[in-house]
Amino acid sequence: MPKVLVSDAIDQVGVDILSQVAQVSYEPELSPAQLLEKIPEYDGLMIRSGTKVTAEVIQAAGRLRIIGRAGVGVDNVDIQAATRKGILVVNSPEGNTIAAAEHAIALMMALSRHISEANVSLKAGKWKRSQFIGVEVYKKTIGIVGLGRIGSHVARVARALGMQIVAYDPYISAERAQQLGARLVDLEQLFHEADYITLHVPRTPETTHLINERTLGLMKPSVRIINCARGGLIDEQAIYSALKEGRIAGAALDVFENEPLGESDLRSLGREVILTPHLGASTEEAQTNVAIDVAEQIRDVLLGLPARSAVNIPGLRPEVMQELKAYLELAETLGNLVGQLAGGRIDALDIRLQGLLAAKDAQPIVVAALKGLLTPALRERVNFVNALLEARERGVRVTETRDSSFADYAGSIHLLARGPEGERSVTGALLGENEVRITSIDDFPISVAPSRFMLITLHRDMPGIIGKVGSFLGSHNVNIAGMQVGRKMVRGNAVMMVSLDDPLPEGLLGEIESVPGIRKAYTVNL
Ligand SMILES: NC(=O)c1ccc[n+]([C@@H]2O[C@H](COP(=O)([O-])OP(=O)(O)OC[C@H]3O[C@@H](n4cnc5c(N)ncnc54)[C@H](O)[C@@H]3O)[C@@H](O)[C@H]2O)c1
Ligand SMILES: O=C(O)[C@H](O)COP(=O)(O)O
């Protein structure tokens, strides 16, 4: 039975799902050193933001197949290292959206009405109503940075509160913003106009210290800033100084550059700052959602099924996967074949999707073809997770084209590989629903089912050549399971594909190539 380690606090429902297929260790208090020591035993790892899955952890994870992040942000996982090692990373992109958006709104309201400070004051026995005069959000302008899932829900709620909405998100259309009642503006304009600024972007090199000494200077002195997204989006020292000196009115921060938040000047401030310990996703509903979402994906992957929210491979809905499954096998077989025929280094791979495939998502087919192409070199080190990255790192340029007019088969894939030794091409299609057929090699038409051991020759189409190869193999006790010849013209060049029951013994390939009329021979394992 596979083993799954749960190293952060997750809802019990997640543990129950994992237990259907795995032996589960629930250890939410592990130190980094303990994680490093334990990880080699596990096939799956389920985490939240508390566990740092560093390159060192991944290096030590000898049998790990999947890391499930019960939440959105995967910046605590070294994705590059996981991808390189072929470890799938999945998350729950929507399970805590509402919780995070509501926390941002709650912080905005708490800041506006001094709720946190007033609560502490009253509990300390004081009744100081005049000290807690707040401001209304009605008719104020909220600037939303990042109009994705959480930012969009904040926009909907803000609209219902009667706020004006400006938004900055270079990756969404003005129409989408308009639907949400938001006006898209550039970042500087947002900083100028907003009475409230709320951040809902991932942390990237582009968004790191988005709020800093300079940008704080662009804002109204009455501005209140909310960060429920990621630590590091705000320069903490700069916002501390701006708050302390009264250059801005307030800030509410749920996330920090270093978590847990240790010594920090921010802690010394009064009502102008509200700090919460990364609680955006901490609702009962969100924790149930993310636990189910991610545990189900870990369970499915351990059972050999696809994941629905993979971070490091194209996400494939199960119905799409089902539809493309046989074509993925075809693409992988063709990639493997053309890779072996081209031999050695391949600089470029052109992938043509023909017939009905011209209308499909090409990405999974490209990944499958690359997996096949790299398998002779990398063996089990290459998989659907790391094939694209490995190909990129080896300098393989990939292009894809489509030809919907192709009518010989319902759907067909043509691969052309270019390397220092020239170009080689193969085509394949499905017979019926899922029988893979190789339908051409270097444009010579054939129809051959791939088999584990194959002999392929390029030769002149002339009398006796097939017989010579057949009796040569027979004389070395190699049994032929099937044979087919393809040619474009009588007595021109031709290709022969021979399926063998056994591998060709060492040294025989050279002898086959010395048969008069044979230009080149290959053994191929599919
Ligand atoms: N505090 C919490 O507990 C908590 C909970 C959930 C999510 N989060 C965090 O909230 C953030 C947003 O999550 P989401 O689910 O809305 O993600 P999302 O991917 O749906 O939305 C992110 C948006 O940011 C935009 N974006 C990317 N780079 C940008 C840039 N340079 N400038 C402006 N916009 C940019 C994207 O186009 C996208 O629309 C993430 O960082 C996530 O980790 C925090
Ligand atoms: O990215 C997320 O999903 C949030 O930051 C939530 O993190 P958590 O699961 O550690 O609460």
Full DSSP string of 137-148: -TT-EEEEE--S
* Catalytic member of 278, 299, 414, 437: 278
Query: Is residue 319 predicted with pLDDT exceeding 70?
Result: no
Are the beta carbons of 303 and 118 closer than 8 angstroms? no
pLDDT of residue 507: 84
Looking at the structure, do residues 103 and 213 belong to the same domain, yes or no?
yes
> d(Cα 297, Cα 219) in Å, to the nearest integer?
44
The answer as to whether 177 is a domain residue is: yes
Distance 471 CA to ligand 1 centre (A): 67
pLDDT of residue 121: 97
Which residues share a beta bridge with 423?
418
72 lines ligand 2 (CB under 6 A): yes
pLDDT of residue 167: 97
Looking at the structure, do residues 191 and 233 belong to the same domain, yes or no?
yes
pLDDT of residue 90: 94
Looking at the structure, do residues 80 and 138 belong to the same domain, yes or no?
no
Q: Name the residue at shortest CA distance from atom 38 of ligand 1.
A: 148
Domain count, the chain: 4
Looking at the structure, do residues 150 and 264 belong to the same domain, yes or no?
yes
Question: What letter would DSSP give residue 381?
Answer: G
pLDDT of residue 470: 92
Q: What is the pTM of this model?
A: 0.77
| Over residues 188-193, mean pLDDT | 98
Find the radius of gyration of the CA atoms of the chain. Answer: 30
Which secondary structure element, helix H or strand E, spans residue 35, and what is its range? helix 32-38
Distance 120 CA to ligand 2 centre (A): 27
Residue-wise DSSP of 424-487: EEEEEEEETTTEEEEEEETTEEEEE---SEEEEEEEE--TTHHHHHHHHHHHTTPPEEEEEEEE
pLDDT of residue 492: 93
Q: What is the pLDDT of residues 447-501, one digit of tens each?
A: 999 999 999 999 999 999 999 999 999 999 999 999 999 999 999 999 999 999 9
Q: Which of 201, 207, 211, 282 to mutate to test the pocket of ligand 1 (most atoms within 8 A of CB)?
A: 201
Residue 69 is among the residues annotated as catalytic for this protein: no
* Catalytic member of 27, 136, 259, 285: 259
CA 227-231-234 angle, to 5 degrees, is 65
Distance 476 CA to ligand 1 centre (A): 65
Burial class (CB in 10 A: 0-12, 13-18, 19+), 366: buried
Which of 450, 484, 502 is the C-terminal boundary of a domain? 450
| Over residues 174-189, mean pLDDT | 93
Tokens of 477: 């006790």
Residue 476 is among the residues annotated as catalytic for this protein: no
The answer as to whether 240 is a domain residue is: yes
Distance 37 CA to ligand 2 centre (A): 25
96 lines ligand 2 (CB under 6 A): yes
Q: Name the residue at shortest CA distance from atom 44 of ligand 1.
A: 229
Helices (H), 184-317: 187-193, 213-216, 236-244, 284-302
Reduced to 3 states (helix: H, G, I; strand: E, B; else coil), residue 117 is: helix
Residue 230 is among the residues annotated as catalytic for this protein: yes
Distance 153 CA to ligand 1 centre (A): 12
> d(Cα 292, Cα 288) in Å, to the nearest integer?
6
Q: State the average pLDDT for the chain.
A: 93
pLDDT of residue 304: 85
The answer as to whether 280 is a domain residue is: no
Q: How confident is the model at residue 513 (pLDDT cuts 50, 70, 90)?
A: very high
pLDDT of residue 10: 98
Query: Is residue 125 predicted with pLDDT exceeding 80?
Result: yes
Ligand 1 pocket by Cβ (under 6 Å): 72-73, 96-97, 100, 145-151, 168-172, 200-202, 204, 206-207, 228-230, 254-255, 278, 280-281
pLDDT of residue 315: 53
Looking at the structure, do residues 459 and 446 belong to the same domain, yes or no?
no
Query: Is residue 394 predicted with pLDDT exceeding 70?
Result: yes
Tokens of 237: 């020292």
% the chain with pLDDT above 90: 81
Tokens of 318: 């199960």
Looking at the structure, do residues 269 and 395 belong to the same domain, yes or no?
no
Distance 50 CA to ligand 2 centre (A): 9
**Who contacts 308 (Cβ-Cβ below 8 Å, separation ≥6)?**
90, 297, 315, 316, 317, 318
Are the beta carbons of 385 and 83 closer than 8 angstroms? yes
> d(Cα 12, Cα 236) in Å, to the nearest integer?
36
Query: Is residue 316 predicted with pLDDT exceeding 60?
Result: no
* Catalytic member of 203, 230, 299, 459: 230
> d(Cα 271, Cα 116) in Å, to the nearest integer?
8
Residue recorded with tokens 């701006």? 242
pLDDT of residue 314: 56
Q: What is the pLDDT of residues 363-387, one digit of tens each?
A: 889 999 999 998 887 777 788 888 8
pLDDT of residue 52: 97
Which of 426, 450, 474 is the C-terminal boundary of a domain? 450
Looking at the structure, do residues 85 and 112 belong to the same domain, yes or no?
no
Looking at the structure, do residues 457 and 427 belong to the same domain, yes or no?
no
The answer as to whether 281 is a domain residue is: no
| Over residues 58-70, mean pLDDT | 97
Query: Is residue 262 predicted with pLDDT exceeding 80?
Result: yes
Q: Which of 156, 169, 279 to mutate to test the pocket of ligand 1 (most atoms within 8 A of CB)?
A: 169
Looking at the structure, do residues 153 and 16 belong to the same domain, yes or no?
no
- Longest CA–CA span in the chain (Å) reads 108
Q: Domain range holding 346? A: 314-450
pLDDT of residue 86: 85
Which of 247, 275, 303 is the C-terminal boundary of a domain? 275
Looking at the structure, do residues 444 and 458 belong to the same domain, yes or no?
no
pLDDT of residue 390: 84
Residue-wise DSSP of 39-78: GGG-SEEEE-TT--B-HHHHHH-TT--EEEESSS--TTB-
Backbone angles phi, psi at 463, to 5 degrees: -60, 140
Query: Is residue 68 predicted with pLDDT exceeding 80?
Result: yes
Q: Which of 2-6, 391-395, 441-445, 511-515 has the lowest mean pLDDT?
A: 391-395
Query: Is residue 317 predicted with pLDDT exceeding 70?
Result: no
Closest ligand 2 atom to 279 CA: 11
Q: How confident is the model at residue 338 (pLDDT cuts 50, 70, 90)?
A: very high
Reduced to 3 states (helix: H, G, I; strand: E, B; else coil), residue 409 is: coil
CATH number of the domain that residue 191 is part of:
3.40.50.720
Looking at the structure, do residues 296 and 359 belong to the same domain, yes or no?
no
Q: What is the pLDDT of residues 28-37, one digit of tens each?
A: 999 999 999 9
Query: Is residue 324 predicted with pLDDT exceeding 90?
Result: no
pLDDT of residue 318: 60
Q: What is the pLDDT of residues 201-235, one digit of tens each?
A: 988 888 999 999 999 999 999 999 999 999 999 99
Query: Is residue 173 predicted with pLDDT exceeding 90?
Result: no
Peptide bond into 260 cis (omega under 30): yes
CA 211, chain centre distance (Å): 28
